[in-house]
Amino acid sequence: MKLLRAFDGYWFAPAPARRLALLRLLVGGFALSFLVGRLPSNLNVAGFVRAEFVPTGVVKLFLRAPLASEVVIGLACLAPVLAVPFVLGFAYRVTAPLFALVLLWVTTYRNSWGMLFHTENLLVLHVLVLVASPAADALSIDARGRPLPEPSGAYGWPARAMTWATTICYVLAGLAKLKLAGPVWLEGDLLRAQIAYDNLRKIELGSGYSSLGAALVHYQAPFLFLAVLTVALELGAPVALIGRRVALVWALAAWGFHVGVAALMAIPFPYQLSFVAYAAFFEVERAYDSVRARVERILPQRAAGKSTT
């Protein structure tokens, strides 16, 4: 019983409403730009060959054959439209769950053609958590004219859930390496071969590749270091749950890892590279206040400068 109470205290540690609201703005803002940027790709799916359809996740629960192309196009266009009220916090209780459902559907449908991309998983999980939380109680249209609520556990648990989901995803990636390849993965030769094969595949399939990765493959030694570092980062991800300083070190290392993946394999993980994926680990409202204070310091000076000229 004591343990349960301790966990409840941890899960419901009070947090300011603005922190959760800022997470909504950051994650929602990223989702909106991502869905707009990926719109051509999501529309392109409407023209895929029916025989290539391999449903996964929720799509597998409802479909055995692809949807009519008009429906695919409609949903792909609807997703960024619904992201707007999510970001603004407008009619949040209705629009946010709708946005999450459409986002989940569109990304899952995009992944239902034989290729699972792994770049959007964390974004979808974070949005699913945010829509079930009171993330529009501050910095939103819904909260206009209302006093800022007191810090509460209701504003704390979503960040907890998001950080846990983030660390678990990394641990799973580390476990997969050990499950599928075993400890030999740590020797680096497999990573070297993976980077070589990924770039080879891109060259042979007529696409852009990483010249840095192709050049590094000539050397064996760096891959031992990179392999050990990768698995340590992935399996060690739960250390980020200990405290904010450790989280900052781990998040910077994870971000550096994704920069490395993009540089050596030309595979960008946009959500992670934007650093928004790690925002839930931090007191984002402090960064917001600091930026806001600076802007306010600069703006009156400019206004004063203009009035004197």
Partner 1 sequence: MSEAPRPPRRLALARVPAYVVGLGTVIATAWPAFRPAHEDAFPLSTYPMFARTLDKPELSFVERLDGKRRAHRLSPEQMGSDEVMQAYRTIKRAVRKGPRATETLCRVLAKRVASREQNGREVRLRVVRARFDPVAYFVDDAEPEEREVLATCSARRTP
Q: Does residue 193 bind partner 1 (CB under 8 A)?
A: yes
Residue from 95, 140, 199, 272 touching partner 1 (CB under 8 A): that is 199
- Identify residues 126-155 at the interface with partner 1 (CB under 8 A): 128-129, 132-134, 152-154
Residue 152 identity (one-letter amino acid): S
- For 144, counting Cβ atoms within 10 Å of its Cβ (0-12 exposed, 13-18 middle, 19+ buried), the class is exposed
User: CA 176, CA 199: separation in Å to the nearest integer?
Assistant: 22
- Identify residues 94-123 at the interface with partner 1 (CB under 8 A): 104, 107-108, 111-118, 120-121
Judged by CB, which is closer to partner 1: 170, or 282? 170
> Of the ranges 17-25, 125-133, 241-249, 286-294, which one interacts with partner 1 (CB under 8 A)?
125-133
Which stretches of 137-243 are DSSP H helices?
157-180, 189-204, 211-216, 221-235
CB of 258 to partner 1, least distance (A): 13
CB of 25 to partner 1, least distance (A): 20
User: CA 62, CA 60: separation in Å to the nearest integer?
Assistant: 6
Residue from 125, 224, 229, 263 touching partner 1 (CB under 8 A): that is 125
User: CA 275, CA 254: separation in Å to the nearest integer?
Assistant: 9
User: CA 287, CA 2: separation in Å to the nearest integer?
Assistant: 35
280 in Cβ contact with 232 (< 8 Å): no
Question: Using CB under 8 A as the criterion, what x/- string covers residues 31-60 for binding partner 1?
Answer: ---------xx--x--xxx-xx-x-xx--x
CB of 278 to partner 1, least distance (A): 16
Q: Does residue 179 bind partner 1 (CB under 8 A)?
A: yes
